[in-house]
Chain A
Amino acid sequence: MKIIAVYCSKGGVGKTATSVNLAFTAARKGYASLLCDLDPQGASSYYFRIRPKKKFNSKQLLHGNLQEFIRETDFDDLDLLPAHFSHRNIDLLLDKEKEKKNPILRKVLGSLEDDYDLVFLDCPPNLTLLSENIISSADMVVTPVIPTTLSVLALQQLLKLCKKTGVNKEKVHAFFSMAEQRKSMHLDVISQYRKYAIFMKTIIPFLAEIEKMGVNRKPVGATQQNSRAALAYERLLKEIEKRGKLR
């Protein structure tokens, strides 16, 4: 079982779209996949039309009672651990844990080892104890970068966080997200940074069909299997498979 965190401290960079579509694509390829919605806003859960069970909250999550709260999506090989409003205070709970630096998420998810090949974490946009826990628990940290200066800055912050928490920065794999051909600034940033090894080759363009996921409430590949967006996520997963030696 490999844990893949989709993380960026900046909001609105396409984390949820990435998590949902990567998890869906992986499941379709035959990986038994679980998507954990750690963002209290619950956008991933919303896309899959899944609400959390009443008894669920972040305490249950951190104490490892996951099995009974995981729900099956409408798609084969893909389950989801829904978000909960209480996740907004998860830092307070983490703070109470004795050893703060312990990758507690890893321990908690370890109980699912026999059930899944891949676990995707859709992470909330912040730089907190939870973020530290996420990057130390994950096998790979996939981070979307909009080709803008602020977004590149967020990537630099992530690398700094890695250094501070003693996490190997080779775990971090970035890609350009929501890229727009007609914006010259986007093209400039891409050409300036794409040469760095941290960037994967796949670029996810800004596409209406990805935006429409909020209306369809389905991964892009479930609406139209061979759409531009679906194919782009397939390429991205292929690169992740290669970099993470998943096969």
Chain B
Amino acid sequence: MKKNCCKEFSAVDEAGVDAALENAGQSYLLADRRKQRLYEYYYDTFDWSLYSSGYHLKRRGGQLYLGLPDKSRMTSGGVTARKSYLHNDLPESELRTVLHSVAGIRALCEIVAAKITRSSIDIRNKDRKTVARLQIDEAMAEGNGKEALLSPFVRLWAMKGYEKAFARVAADLEKAGLIEAPYDQSDLKRYLTAVGREVLDYSSKYDLTQPREIRAGQAVSSICLYLLEMMEKNVSGVLDDIDSEFLHDFRVAMRRTRSLLSQLKNYLPEEKIQRFLDEFKWLGTLTGPVRDLDVYLLEKDDYASMLPEQLHGGLDAFFQDLEKKREKDLTMLRQGLASQRYRDFIESWRIFLEDEKGICDWEPAREDCFPIARRIIGKRYRQILKKGGKLGEHSPDEDLHRLRIQGKKLRYLLEFFASFFDEKEIQHFHKQLKKLQNNLGDFNDISVQLEMLEKYRTSIKSRSRRAVEIAAALGGLVTHLAEEHKNVRAQFESTFAGFASSENREKFDSLLGE
């Protein structure tokens, strides 16, 4: 059966609703059906992956309800009340599978909660036949550290075959001062607005545009402030350890900042900047160990699939050790982020960036940014072509790692200054670079993993059954990964040739206007 048509209205206050009901009551009988109290909790990932793909998730009465883009709905079995759910916190179900495909490794966090008093009223004709239904929500929203009472929200549901009555009641309600709500206003949006938040208020994608006439100093300050905000938005998620991506995004923002400062150092007051760079380095060391372990923990399922069933016991034991180690490292990280040193650093960095005298007034920083960007991007690109072109089958792994770092620097530059260039051209170039970076990134990841696993394996001294099992599992992993390492390495030449093709070179020259 098709879903019924519904019109939504908002009222100024309770008296407004009463007036509207009185008006409708002149042509129809109004029968109170029931009054319920509902508690609804809305969830999404920190970067809004559900919302941006047309899904929405809420918990009500101990169950999760997932709304799909096609307007259908899925339910879970019973779940315990939590502020956030990771994939494994949910009972096995179709809903969990769908959520996993949309949210990936990100946790689903409570974004807003609503306490709703819902009155349901039947609108009946003289035969006492229900011809339309009314639902009046009075809600209190909670989230973003606030609590807010919403104005009453009225839904009028049509019933098949009684379209005239529906139109008449709708007109009666409007005449009495109810205002039809905008079409795309979901409950989630209403509750969020009430507590002063908006959907899509965070994305891990770099998205800051610069005007073409901006000066170098201004560009650097605004980019650094943007990245500082990224870091700060992720801190509480790191401290609460909600999922691995808070720390990852925090570190990426930090790395982008460092990369920008070092690539534009000729135009910046080096002396003043140095002490901040030192602090960024400290932050890198502070956050590194947990991130390194996260990378392995995220690989857990992949690793298991590489090994036969008999070795899974050893693998589990290995991961238990990693979890324990992570617990310790996380404590250190938390202490660091809660320290006076961290607070002072962030505060002074912000003040420095906001102060005109910080960067903007420095003579070399007054130069136009666009030509500088063009110059350093071109230089970086040619460097990659040169270095990459020299690499052959027998080049040491180290050289590939170095090339990856060059590529990353170029990628950051292209992101920072994308708005200076033609959008289509820069996107093409991004894509080409991404292909190369994926290959180099995979190669690097496996190298690092191999090294760590091998180091761990050879450090096992105990002859206990557990230790032997771990060693066996790691041995299996190393064999498997070494094979993959070779495969990824073998793909480098052709990947690079694609990146450095004459067609791409020409396009790049035209992008830079050379």
Distance, CA A235 to CA B1, complexed state (A): 25
- Of residues 70 through 106 on chain A, the ones whose CB sits less than 8 Å from some CB of chain B are 70-72, 74, 77, 79
B1 touches A50 (CB 8 A): no
The reply on B262 being an interface residue by CB < 8 A is no
B159 touches A71 (CB 8 A): yes
- CB-CB under 8 A from A51, the residues of chain B are 127
The reply on A188 being an interface residue by CB < 8 A is no
Using known A-B contacts A77-B1, A115-B1, A116-B1, determine if residue A50 contacts B160 with beta carbons closer than 8 Å. Answer: no
Closest to B163 in A: A68
B162 touches A49 (CB 8 A): no
Distance, CA A116 to CA B128, complexed state (A): 26
The reply on A29 being an interface residue by CB < 8 A is no
- CB-CB under 8 A from B2, the residues of chain A are 115
Total number of A residues with any Cβ neighbor in B under 8 Å: 16
| Option from A48, A71, A77, A217 in Cβ contact (under 8 Å) with B162 | A71
| Option from B127, B128, B160 in Cβ contact (under 8 Å) with A72 | B160
B122 touches A72 (CB 8 A): no
The reply on A32 being an interface residue by CB < 8 A is yes
- Of residues 43 through 75 on chain A, the ones whose CB sits less than 8 Å from some CB of chain B are 48-51, 53, 69-72, 74
Distance, CA A69 to CA B163, complexed state (A): 11
Q: Is the interface of A mostly helix, strand, loop or mixed?
A: loop
Total number of B residues with any Cβ neighbor in A under 8 Å: 12
B127 touches A79 (CB 8 A): no
- CB-CB under 8 A from A217, the residues of chain B are 128
A74 touches B129 (CB 8 A): yes
Q: How far is the CB of A117 from chain B (nearest CB, A)?
A: 9
A48 touches B129 (CB 8 A): yes
B161 touches A69 (CB 8 A): yes
- CB-CB under 8 A from B127, the residues of chain A are 49-51
A71 touches B130 (CB 8 A): no
- CB-CB under 8 A from B162, the residues of chain A are 71-72
A32 touches B1 (CB 8 A): yes
- CB-CB under 8 A from A53, the residues of chain B are 161
- CB-CB under 8 A from B130, the residues of chain A are 74
- Of A71, A72, A116, most B-chain CB atoms within 10 Å: A72
| Option from A48, A49, A71 in Cβ contact (under 8 Å) with B160 | A71
- Of residues 146 through 171 on chain B, the ones whose CB sits less than 8 Å from some CB of chain A are 159-162
Distance, CA A71 to CA B130, complexed state (A): 11
Q: How far is the CB of A219 from chain B (nearest CB, A)?
A: 14
Closest to B129 in A: A49
- Residue interface bits A144-171, CB-to-B below 8 A is 1, else 0: 0000000000000000000000000000
Distance, CA A32 to CA B160, complexed state (A): 14
A71 touches B122 (CB 8 A): no
Distance, CA A105 to CA B160, complexed state (A): 22
Q: How far is the CB of B247 from chain A (nearest CB, A)?
A: 46
Q: How far is the CB of B138 from chain A (nearest CB, A)?
A: 25
Query: Which residue numbers of A lie inside 8 Å of B, CB to CB?
Result: 32, 48-51, 53, 69-72, 74, 77, 79, 115-116, 217
Q: Please name the 5 residue pairs, one residue from A and one from B, whose CB atoms are nearest each other, closest first.
A: A71-B161, A49-B129, A72-B160, A72-B159, A49-B127
Provide a sorted-by-A list of 30 A–B residue pairs whose CB atoms are within 8 angstroms: A32-B1, A48-B129, A49-B127, A49-B128, A49-B129, A50-B127, A50-B129, A50-B161, A51-B127, A53-B161, A69-B161, A70-B160, A71-B159, A71-B160, A71-B161, A71-B162, A72-B4, A72-B159, A72-B160, A72-B161, A72-B162, A74-B122, A74-B129, A74-B130, A77-B1, A79-B160, A79-B161, A115-B1, A115-B2, A116-B1
